Chains A and B, each alone.
Chain A
Amino acid sequence: MTTLIVNEEVMDEVRADPLLSVENFAVEFATGHGWSRVVDDVSFSVRAGETMGLVGESGSGKSVTAMSIMRLIPTPPGRIAAGRILFEGQDLLALDEPQMRKVRGNHIAMIFQEPLTALNPAFTIGDQLVEAIRAHRKVTRKQAGDRAAELLDLVGIPGARQRLRDYPHRFSGGMLQRAMIAGALACSPKLLIADEPTTALDVTVQAQILTLLRGLQQEFNMAMLFISHDLGVVADICDRVAVMYAGQIVESATVYELFERPLHPYTEGLLLAMPQHGKPTDRLVPIPGVVPEAASVADRCRFETRCRYAADECRAAPVPLTSYGPRATRCVRSKDLVLGGTS
């Protein structure tokens, strides 16, 4: 019984102090008519060495959450409206910009969906890696260059030393993402935030990058916050998962529990909508409608307008995230609903 063993492991980790802890976090953006809350009451934690998945569809707030941890949200138009982000016990939101720079790229690193736009086309891969290393470490150019070659080799780029002299356009998409990962690893971060790192890649290359990330994580005991819209990728790489919908976390659980028996109807809806669900000849089961404006559903369950199980109680008040042991869900009917997962 794999699931039981995993549960025990998870309970051990629950007792350990988290590396990153996001508490009741909210982000707002200025719009033509006041502030619009795009991330609301988000709480989750990432423990040392684990991979936490943040999954959701476009506009769910997962990328804004990730960018906020790095304090990369432009303010204005954005503003952090509430909450704390504790990294090793220290509130990142209380740091000034020079202090934050010491964290960014050093203790917490980030990789993005589009590696080509994240690199400067006018500098060689080597220049950019050396710059990343020298930003945080007092080493000579020569030493940084050696380290850069070591890093490229580590992420599986053949002929690393020669490739340092190449410009980004000479690299394929998969190679660029490898180079980005090399840069992120430059200062041995404790946490790597990966924002859709394989979304722009072909599936065979995606498989390579996932294998690489998994290996590096074990080697360096690095925690990962893995942001994705792809439930297959999440099933492959994450230990725990938080599902986001319309700016809120609607469910969090271990990856096995989440897929086997979801507690929130939105999670169930995502699983049912996958073409892999059921027999290939079965009709797909979409989630009806579209994501509503957050403001229009602020007084109720945000998923209520699309939920097949919606009842009067769902429309009565906003729904808080309720914990059940290591799991949590934002559904008032979670006790009387038995939802379908992969089992």
Chain B
Amino acid sequence: MSDETLVKVQGLQKHFPVRSGLFGRVTAQVRAVDGVDFEIHRGETLGLVGESGSGKSTTGRAVLRLIEPSAGSVHFDGVDILSLDSGALRRTRARMQMIFQDPYSSLDPQATVADSVGEPLRVHRGLRGRARDDAVVELLETVGLQARHLRRFPYEFSGGQRQRICIARALAPSPDLLVCDEPVSALDVSIQAQVINLLEDIQQEFGIALLFISHDLAVVRHISDRIAVMYLGRIVEIGEAEQVYTQPRHPYTEALLSAIPVPDPVVQRRRDRIVLDGDIPSPLAPPPGCRFHTRCPYAMDVCREVDPPMIPMAGGGVACHLHDRGPRLHGRSVLEIEPRSRAAEPVHANVKP
């Protein structure tokens, strides 16, 4: 890992039009991603966590320009990829690859492993025939498969093995960035650990940066150097993995952590729990002010009116009024204060100004 920036995302927005009526007029906009900024350093793993509808997958796709962002910029190794023409984009894409959640639908069922993994070798490195197969075997061995798998079809493999094939294919053009969209969510726990270890090994060996998208904070904490937490199209907190997990600064991060059951009944049944009310509001009409205020146990008047800016902190930042206008946490953990539902005293009581 180095401090050299590989990816720089600024003001990224992706709005999907909702069409209705006879002429398909645009009647509303789904604001899937609504102003997201982050950087990925060379060789690091940035975890992107959030629940369904938070915009994390859309963000991942926009970084590779698999979808056209509505606004904002994405710089990859200093080049604005949104300005590239299709030829230049294709050449750049060799250096940024993606693996998906469902290893069943992301491989062509009629293509052998040699064809699937060999395709990027042909396109990007011009390898054919024997040379291509040799390169494929080398990649298969890297991901823990063998040469005898070369002529097999996807249906002959288990879910974990298919994800290995997808990883081999993504590695073929020697990328600098690998976007992993829920890569282990469809796998059983025992297999999940195999694939996570493989991703860590590959990163060590080739120095690839990972954008690891997942709803599972425990997995993300394990694999990431830094974590960004998304809610309703925005990053609400970003920081070092350990800080986000143990000293969260945003109430949503705290609630998310509290909601993940710990696989130990003694610990799990003694924990303080924050059960949030309701569901994530619709991204068609995000709430005014802070988007989390409708479910936030600490919500103040200002939260209903003013959209909190991202306040830079050591190792990252947080978008929450508790840090600038409320009890003035100034970047300290939100765990230091009692939510209103639990505390009789006003929120300010426990916190030094």
Contact = CB atoms under 8 A, between A and B. Distances in A.
A205 B190 CA distance: 25
B260 A203 contact: yes
Secondary structure at chain A's binding surface: helix, strand, loop or mixed?
helix
Given A174-B279, A202-B215, A203-B51, A283 B197 contact: yes
A342 B269 CA distance: 14
A57 B189 contact: yes
A210 B194 CA distance: 29
A298 interface: no
Contacts of B217: 203
Interface string A245-283: 000000000011001100000000111011111001001
Contacts of B200: 283
A280 B218 CA distance: 9
Contacts of B280: 202
A285 interface: yes
A238 to B, nearest CB: 8
A124 interface: no
Interface stretch (A77-85, A181-189, A225-233): A225-233
A290 B158 CA distance: 8
Nearest to A237: B261
Contacts of A203: 51, 215, 217, 256, 259-260
B262 A276 contact: yes
Contacts of A270: 189-190
A230 B160 contact: no
A205 B241 CA distance: 24
Given A208-B275, A270-B189, A275 B215 contact: no
Contacts of A207: 258-259, 261, 273, 275-276
Contacts of A205: 51, 279
B261 to A, nearest CB: 3
Interface of B: 51-52, 158, 160-161, 188-194, 196-197, 200, 215-219, 221-222, 241-242, 245, 255-256, 258-269, 273, 275-276, 279-280
A231 B260 CA distance: 11
A118 B283 CA distance: 26
A285 B193 CA distance: 7
A233 B261 contact: yes
B265 A57 contact: no
- Identify which of B217, B242, B280 gathers the most chain A CB atoms within 10 Å of its CB: B280
A204 interface: yes
A211 interface: yes
Contacts of B263: 231-232, 234-235, 259, 271, 274, 276-277, 342
Nearest to B192: A273
Nearest to B160: A290
A11 interface: no
Contact of B193 (A58, A236, A284): A284
A2 interface: yes
B191 A286 contact: yes
A274 B218 contact: yes
Contact of A256 (B191, B256, B261, B265): B265
Nearest to A3: B266
Contacts of A280: 221-222, 241-242, 245
A259 B264 contact: yes
Given A284-B197, A290-B158, A57 B262 contact: no
A179 B259 CA distance: 21
A337 B267 CA distance: 25
A238 B263 CA distance: 12
A73 B241 CA distance: 46
Listed from nearest, the 8 A-B pairs whose CB atoms lie closest are A232-B261, A286-B193, A287-B190, A57-B188, A202-B51, A284-B193, A231-B263, A207-B259
Nearest to A277: B263
A9 B151 CA distance: 58
B262 to A, nearest CB: 6
A256 B193 contact: no
Given A235-B264, A256-B266, A280-B245, 11 more contacts: A172-B279, A202-B215, A206-B259, A229-B188, A235-B262, A236-B269, A275-B196, A284-B196, A286-B191, A287-B190, A290-B191
Contacts of B259: 203-204, 206-207
A175 interface: yes
B218 A175 contact: no
Contacts of A290: 158, 160-161, 191
B47 to A, nearest CB: 12
Contacts of B265: 235-236, 255-256, 259
Nearest to B246: A280
Nearest to B196: A284
Contacts of A175: 279
A235 B192 CA distance: 20
A285 B219 CA distance: 13
Contacts of A275: 193, 196, 216, 218-219, 221-222
Contacts of B222: 275, 280, 284
Contacts of B189: 57, 229, 231, 270, 273-274
Contacts of A234: 263
Contacts of B245: 280
Given A274-B189, A286-B193, A204 B158 contact: no
Nearest to A198: B261
A276 B275 contact: no
Contacts of B194: 286, 288
A271 B151 CA distance: 36
Nearest to B279: A172
B190 A286 contact: yes
Contacts of B279: 172, 174-175, 205
21 contacts: A58-B188, A175-B279, A203-B217, A203-B260, A211-B273, A211-B275, A230-B261, A236-B261, A259-B264, A271-B263, A274-B263, A275-B193, A275-B218, A276-B263, A284-B193, A286-B191, A287-B193, A288-B194, A290-B160, A342-B264, A342-B267
